[in-house]
Amino acid sequence: MEISHKANGTYTEVVASGRLNMVSAPSLRSYVSEVVASGSHRIVINLAQTTFMDSSGLGALIGCLKAARQAGGDLRIAAVQPQVKMVLELTSMDRVLTAYPSAEEAFGNE
């Protein structure tokens, strides 16, 4: 999995490309924790290029959400692919991690 980020005004977009599984999940969690520690508390994880997610990946997203909220911010996900969406729906985590069509729309009205 490749992970990068860029600041977009009021939020930081983290782009995750590849498979979000037990091998890559710790990397994503660590990466987002570093972004939050650097002062970015409003995070959007862009999953447009994330082709697969397992339960470890879901756990990483929840850990990232927790880190952002503990810092006084929030975390949202965007551009969710069908397989990832299915995992979110099957676990009912789509109620906690609302998916937005794009990173721009995730914090667009705030």
Task: Please enumerate in sequence order all residues whose Cβ is within 8 A of that of 60, keeping only pairs 6 or more positions apart, or say none.
Answer: 20, 25, 26, 28, 29
pTM as predicted: 0.93
Domains and CATH numbers, the chain: 2-102 (3.30.750.24)
pLDDT (tens digit, 0 to 9) for every residue of the chain, 110 residues total? 999 999 998 899 999 999 999 999 999 999 999 999 999 999 999 999 999 999 999 999 999 999 999 999 999 999 999 999 999 999 999 999 989 999 999 987 66
Q: Are strands 2-8 and 11-20 parallel, antiparallel or unpaired?
A: antiparallel
